[in-house]
Structure formats: C-alpha cells, structure tokens
Amino acid sequence: MSSMWAIVRRDLLLGLRQRGEILQHLFFFLLVIVLFPLGTRPEPAMLLAVGPALIWMAVLLSAMLSLQRLFRPELEDGSLEQCLLSPLPLPLVVLSKVTAHWLASGLIYILASPLIALLLGVPGPAIPVIMAALALGTPTLGLVGAIGVALTLGLPRAGLLLSLLIFPLFVPVLIFGAGAMSAAITGLEFRGPLLMLAAMLVLSVTLAPLATAAALRISLE
Amino acid sequence: MLTAEGLVITRGDRVLLRGFDLSVDPGERVHLKGPNGVGKSTLIKVLCGLRRAEEGRVCWHGTDIRHDPDSYERSLLYIGHENALNPDLSAVENLHSLQAILGCETEGVERALQDAGLKGRMHLPCRKLSAGQRRRAALSRLLSSRHPLWILDEPAAALDAAGRAWLEAMMLAHGEAGGAVLFSAHEPLAEAGCRVVELT
Amino acid sequence: MYRWFHQLGSPPYFYRLARRLEPWLAIAALLLIAWGVYGGLVKAPPDYQQGEAFRIIYVHVPSAWLSLFVYTAMAVAGAVALVWRMKLAEVFVTAAAPLGAAFTFLALVTGSIWGKPMWGTWWVWDARLTSELILLFLYLGVIALNAAIEDRRSAARACALLALVGVINVPIVHYSVEWWNTLHQGPTITRFDRPAMAPEMLWPLLWCALGFNFLFFWLQLPRMRYELLQREARSRWVARELGSE
C-alpha cells in the first residue's frame, strides 16, 4: 500500500536527518553493556550468566528512550491530525510508523549484537540465537510500547509515566528473550522460548495497532 | 453538503456550544467568528470528525459521518492551526509525504509551492522558513485540491497582505467551481458573498 | 432486563440506587468476614505441615482473588465504556483502581508474612508473588495515568483502554513468570501450594472471599458516587441530590 510506504519513507528520511539522536540511543545501549562489567568482577562465567539479562535490560531502557520520539513530533507539528483523516485506517498508520521506528532502533541493536556477544564472551553457536531473540523481541517492544506512547501523548513530563505503563507489557518479552539467550549459551533447548517470542510478536502485530489507534483517538480528543 | 444538527460540544466540564446547527452548501463560504477561546477550533475539529460531540451529529450529504467516515474524509481537505510540516524536512518532502498519506496526487507539489511563493526555498528544511512561509507551504495544498469541502482553521494567520490576497483568490476560485469553504478567522476574508456565523 | 441495564447507566438513577445498597453491602461484608474469620481462626484445626501459620491464607487468598477480580471487572467495565461510551463504566474503572491496588498490596504483604516463618526471608521470587507484584504495577499505571490527564473524561477513557490492554497481558505475564520460575527454582514445593484442604479449612476461606467481594463493592460504590458528583457538578440532578441531602 503506497500510503503505508509513504509513511515509512518519511519516517526513515526523518530518522536520517536526526541521525544524531538515533546514534545517541545506540551509544546508550552500548554504554549500559560496557559499564556493567566495570562494576563487578568481569569473570567470564558470571558475564555469561548475567549477559542475557544485561542485553535485554539495555534494550528495554533504550527502547523506553527511543519511544519518546514516536508520535510526539507528529502531534506537535499537526501531522498526526492529518493522519487521522487519511483514507488509510489508523491501525495501519500506526503499524507503518512503528515499523519505521523499529528499522531505526531495533534493527540497529540486532546488527550490533555480534559485537556485544564478543564483549560478553558468548560462544559462537549462540550468537545467531541471540540475534534471533532480538529480532523477534524488539518489534514486539516497539508495537506494545506504542500503546503506552499513545496513551501518554501530549502529557507533559510523560517519560516516567510511560515507563511505568509499558514495563508490565515488556516483562514477558524480557523473560522469554533472556531465557532463549541463556538456553543457547548453556547449550540447552532454546526453541521453546523463541517460539513464545514469535507468538507474542504475532499477537502484538495483530492487536497492538488497534489498541494504539484507539489510544491516539482518546488522546487527541 | 455538510450539515450539523443539535451539536453539544464540551471541553473538560465546560459546555462550549449547545444545540448548534450549521449547514454549508456548494459554492458557499462560511466564516466562523468569535472571541479567543470560545471554541472555534474545537467546533472545527468536531466538524472534521476528529472529535466527537456530546450530542448531535454531523452529516455529509445526509449521512452521519460516523457511519461512513471514508467518503467524508475523501471529500474533505482540512488545514488546521498547525502546518503539519516537520521542521527537519523540506517543504517538498513534507508535502509529498502528506499528499501520499492522504491519498492525493503528488505530482503538483513543486508547482503548487512555486505558486505559493516558495520558489527558492522549497528544498530547505522547514525550520529555516519564516512562519508566513510555512503557512504558505501548508496552504499550497489548496491549489491542487479536488476536494469539494475545505475546512480551514485560521488560514490567514501569519500571512502578509500578498499572502492573504493569494488565499482569497483560491477561496473564490474554489467557490466558483462549486466547492465550499468553512473557515475561522478574526478578520474578514474574501468578504463578498461570505456568510458569517458568530459564536459566543 | 435490558431496560434496567440501560437505566442503570444513568448517573442519577445509579446514584440513588447505590446509596440505598451501601448499608446492606456493609452488613453482608461484615457478617461474611466475621463468620469466615471465626471459622478460620478458631474452628479450623492447625495444618499438619505449617502449623498455625497457614491461617494467614484467610486474608491472603481472598486478597489475591480480589486483586484479580477487580482488575477483570475494570477491564470489562473498560470495554463497556469504550464501546458504548457509558459514563458510569468509565467511573467504575477509575474508582476501582486504587481499591484493586490496595488488595494487591495486601496480598503481597500477607504473602510475605506467610513466607517469613517458612523460608526465613521477607521476599521470595516465587511465581505467584512475582505475578502479583507486576499486577500491582499495572494498577499503579492506571492510577498514575488517571492522575496525569487533566480532562476527566479523557482520563477515564484512557484508563479504560489501559485496563483492557492490561487484562490481556495478565495471563501472558502469569504464564511467563511461571515458566521463568520453573526454570530457576526446580521442583521444590512452592510455598503457596495450598495445604490439602479439609472442609473445615475450605469453607471459612470461601466465606472470607465472598465477604471481601462485598467489601469491595461497599467501598467502590461511594467512590463512584463521589466521582459522579465531581464530574457532573454542574448538572441539574446533582443540584437536586445535594439540595435534598
């Protein structure tokens, strides 16, 4: 659908223009992971045990930061109103924007993950699983986080409230994502958690845009 | 074409309008007037379908816009208070994507921006344009518009005299072609043959 | 039946009905809880495994049950509010959230107290307690969102949507926390495995749970009435009600 593509193109173009901000989120992500071993004994065994949780914590925190720029610029400049009047159904508008947002954030984390794996001493065979878990989990985070953004749109100082709202929604992704990574690192069966991540992704893709669209309408009233 | 029947509009717990009726026919220009804060923008948003009234309904060609939002949205061109221009993109980029998202044609964008007086500046990021230039860029959508109904919220804000004349010319031409314009403004715009609705 | 439901949605009718019901709800709550507590603390024999300490389930289990019940009720009311734009349903959501949070907190505290004599620590990352903790955050989210949005109508509708989204999340969180727990704790008996329930133990539990339900409604109705008064302060029926009181 050309309208959806127009939205994705526009948001990606905007991301390119604002690449400083996107790089900041990436650096924050790397920073969290790099700082952690400095605060403790960087023993390989412990890093491997804690690694998955660390990666996901960094992803969650960066996601909460980057979600702040999801609908706000469009609200401020008035283009969100126009999107409501578009022939494209609002859930699809939401889906397009979240996709563009993921391409500028989640995808970058996935590409950076081999580097992170190196820093944490993750064995080679586990790296594809780490990337797969991130690939399945980060879109879910974006889709579900968009609901929170839409509910708090237009509120001043909404950052903290947003974190409070979406944290319970992130917990399942964290559990299964870290579970898959841990299982792969220790050589156990990892397909179960990966499938759960996939199931949650499917559920999010179908339901989250609907909830986000409803929340946008409520916030714009 | 457009009718509003018995609208009751509230904002917070304040009742802005009660039992408000309005009709706009082809070729008409309707000017919404009223002091600041009386609810012109809120009424406009209700008429566009962006907000819901507590009671009453808005009809497009007799059908409630809630029952058939699609055909109404296709016939409506709404330019709000804000310009819908992202400051980091150029006017061309902004309007291109806006037209594409709204399902309108995108070929005439550059010509329309030229006509709006932005010849040398349409490829600059919008943050480098003045407020008046941004308004002109937003209004350039009117040039290539095929929509029967225009709803404009304070279209002349930030425009200089030449800009106002340009806007008035477009509104008159639209009326002659059978379209209708509903707009809010503090001063008269394209006065001749315009119907004024005063909100208190 | 449908007409009564429709009538119930009218704020003035609900207001008068709620005022009449409240004393009865209080009595029912008091009687049921008293009966349940008597049965649980006095009549029921001590558990062969946990001794007298198990008796805290007479507060813990009803609280936990209520915490889930209230959230589900909020979600149902939220759905009604969003689909039918029913003001009363919106008010139900925002009024119930702090009560639900209180029940959740009570469940967490009593759960913690229950565990201390058994396991020696005040908190254990047990599946059920962890789920309750996340449920508490869900409630806090609704409360915070309601407080953050100025327009009462928009706030209530946003909370209704949040409650709906949350209710879909609750089973997902529960399942994932359980999975996480079995992964890391192994096949030990979780502390909240209910002791094999003799009828003398079970019945007081049910009375307490039912009593807590009535307690919730007894607390909820005045909250809803208060919220209605605030929201409709300028309407005629409020002037009439307050004038006649």
Quote ipTM for the complex: 0.90
Q: Which residue of C has its CA nearest to B12?
A: C151
Query: What is the predicted pLDDT for the residue at C189?
Result: 45
Which residues make Cβ contacts (< 8 Å) with residue C8, sequence separation at least 6? C14, C17, C88
Query: What is the predicted pLDDT for the residue at C196?
Result: 57
Q: What is the pLDDT of residues C159-188, one digit of tens each?
A: 999 999 999 999 999 888 888 887 765 444
Domain annotation covers residue C134: yes
Q: Could you give the count of Cα atoms lying within 13 Å of A158 in the half-sphere of its Cβ? A: 24
Cα-Cα-Cα-Cα dihedral sign, residues A177, A181, A186, A188:
positive
Q: Which of A123-132, A140-149, A158-167, C175-184 has the highest mean pLDDT?
A: A140-149
Report how many domains make up chain A. 1
A9, A77, A220: residue with CB nearest B82? A77
The percent of chain C in helix, strand and coil, each rounded to the nearest 5, is 85, 0, 15
- Tokens found for residue C39: 């049965």
Report how many domains make up chain C. 1
Domain annotation covers residue C177: yes
What does the alpha-carbon distance between residue C165 and residue A147 come to, in Å, rounded to a whole number? 9
- Tokens found for residue A177: 């994502």
Number of Cβ within a 10 Å radius of residue B145 = 20
Query: What is the predicted pLDDT for the residue at C187?
Result: 44
Give me the domain span that covers residue A137.
2-220
- Those chains having 3 or more beta-carbon pairs within 8 angstroms of chain C are A, B
Domain annotation covers residue C4: no
What does the alpha-carbon distance between residue B87 and residue B84 come to, in Å, rounded to a whole number? 9
Give me the domain span that covers residue C59.
19-44+54-183+197-244
Cα→Cα distances C22→B110, C26, C127, C219, Å = 68, 6, 37, 9
Q: Residue A155: its chain C contacts at CB < 8 A?
A: 148-149
Q: Is B82 on the interface with C (CB under 8 A)?
A: no
To which residue do tokens 């804060």 refer? B37
Residues of chain B with pLDDT under 50: none
State the average pLDDT for chain C.
84
Q: Is C151 on the interface with B (CB under 8 A)?
A: yes
Query: What is the predicted pLDDT for the residue at C229?
Result: 86
Q: What is the pLDDT of residues B44-80, one digit of tens each?
A: 999 999 988 888 889 998 888 888 888 899 899 999 9
DSSP 3-state assignment of A203?
A: helix
Flag if C231 and B13 touch (Cβ within 8 Å).
Answer: yes
Interface of A with B (CB under 8 A): 2-3, 6-7, 9-10, 13-14, 17-18, 73-74, 76-79, 81-88, 93, 220-221
What does the alpha-carbon distance between residue A93 and residue A81 come to, in Å, rounded to a whole number? 12
Q: Residue C134: its chain A contacts at CB < 8 A?
A: 168, 171
pLDDT at A205 over 70: yes
The closest alpha carbon to C172, from C217, C213, C138, C216, belongs to C138
Cα→Cα distances A190→A135, A171, A204, B125, Å = 15, 18, 21, 48
Flag if B12 and C150 touch (Cβ within 8 Å).
Answer: yes
What are the phi and psi torsion angles at B176 (to 5°)?
Answer: -65, -30
- Tokens found for residue B63: 């059908």
Domain annotation covers residue C189: no
The percentage of residues in chain A with a pLDDT greater than 90, rounded to a whole number, is 71
Q: Residue A81: its chain B contacts at CB < 8 A?
A: 50, 78, 80, 82, 84
Q: Give the closest-approach CA distance of C209 to chain A in angstroms.
A: 27
Domain annotation covers residue C6: no
